[in-house]
């Protein structure tokens, strides 16, 4: 169903089951797959792909040009997965050529009002971004991360899976998986125990991660020494993921 006030580019590829509400504008080579709904006043620009069964609320702007002064109208892309709920005034920008050319959003995400996902971000699945949560360019977010309201992540940062970023938090460095980050310049405040329990982590898994946290951040040992102890004394995929994330960090981690 397409409302008569909607304006749709002839080059757009839209599944016949898509519902497009009043005053929506779809420009360029956009692709919208089955079951997705644009409620009203949504703007989709450029080479933007939207998956199945998404709900996009009024005044969202998806696929706009990247806010990067080096951008020269190159043909870049925004890819949004399936089953995403995108609330009012959310903005998502296309990629840049020096950042890979694509901004990617996974599946089953809940993106609340006024959130912003900048150019060249890679955002996983099962993520919650509360009101006014903001990702600068080139940010990588793993699956099952929660962002509280009014937080901001610096460009090129990485957020590990199952992490929680508190409200009013500025994130200047990488946030390791499974952790809570908070503060005007984010520091770690322990394991995201409540989130892990909700995700079905066992007591044994949580206990191992707590021990790893104490060794890493409460022992006053050098980081390399802490990682060596963790590899020798603890096992399991979650421990391996934590160690891999820290060892691969380029910006450094929040401590």
Q: How many residues does the chain have?
A: 255
Residue 80's pLDDT is what? 99
pTM check: above 0.95: yes
Residue 32's pLDDT is what? 98
Q: What does each C-alpha distance from 48 to 11, 63, 147, 175 come to in angstroms?
A: 12, 6, 24, 29
CATH of 7-138, one of 3.40.50.10880, 2.40.110.10, 2.160.10.10, 2.120.10.30: 2.160.10.10
- pLDDT beneath 50: ranges in the chain: none
| Model confidence pLDDT, tens digit, residues 8-55 | 999 999 999 999 999 999 998 999 999 999 999 999 999 999 999 999
Decide if 254 contacts 171 (C-beta within 8 A): yes
The SS3 assignment for 128 reads strand
CA geometry: angle 83, 135, 224, nearest 5 deg:
110
Residue 139's pLDDT is what? 98
Which positions are catalytic? 119-120, 137
Residues of the chain with CATH 2.160.10.10: 7-138
| Model confidence pLDDT, tens digit, residues 196-215 | 999 999 999 999 999 999 99
Residue 41's pLDDT is what? 98
Integer Cα distance of 120 and 212 in angstroms: 32
Residue 27's pLDDT is what? 94
The pLDDT > 90 percentage for the chain reads 99
Decide if 52 contacts 76 (C-beta within 8 A): no
Residue 28's pLDDT is what? 87
Identify the architecture of domain 197-248 in CATH: Up-down Bundle (1.20)
Q: Identify which of 89, 90, 68, 64 has the alpha carbon closest to the alpha carbon of residue 78.
A: 64
Residues of the chain with CATH 1.20.1180.10: 197-248
The SS3 assignment for 130 reads coil
């Amino acid at each position: 169903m397409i409302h008569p006030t909607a304006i749709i580019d002839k080059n757009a590829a839209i599944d016949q089951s898509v519902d497009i509400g009043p005053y929506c504008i779809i420009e360029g080579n956009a692709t919208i797959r089955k079951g997705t709904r644009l409620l009203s006043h949504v703007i989709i620009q450029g080479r933007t792909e939207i998956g199945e069964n998404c709900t996009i609320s009024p005044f969202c702007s998806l696929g706009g040009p990247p806010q990067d002064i080096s951008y020269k109208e190159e043909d870049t892309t925004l890819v949004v997965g399936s089953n995403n709920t995108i609330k009012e005034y959310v903005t998502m920008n296309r990629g840049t050529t020096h950042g890979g050319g694509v901004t990617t959003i996974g599946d089953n995400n809940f993106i609340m009002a006024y959130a912003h996902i900048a150019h060249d971000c890679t955002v996983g699945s099962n993520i919650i971004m509360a009101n006014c949560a903001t990702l600068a360019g080139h940010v990588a977010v793993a699956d099952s991360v929660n962002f509280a309201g009014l937080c901001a992540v610096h460009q090129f940062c990485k957020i590990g899976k199952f992490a929680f970023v508190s409200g009013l938090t500025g994130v200047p460095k990488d946030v390791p998986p499974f952790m809570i980050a908070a503060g005007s310049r984010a520091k770690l405040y322990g394991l995201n125990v409540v989130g892990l329990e909700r995700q079905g982590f066992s007591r044994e898994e949580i206990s191992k991660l707590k021990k790893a946290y104490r060794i890493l951040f409460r022992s006053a040992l050098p980081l390399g020494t802490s990682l060596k102890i963790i590899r020798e004394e603890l096992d399991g995929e979650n421990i391996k993921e934590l160690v891999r994330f820290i060892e691969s960090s380029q910006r450094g981690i929040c401590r």
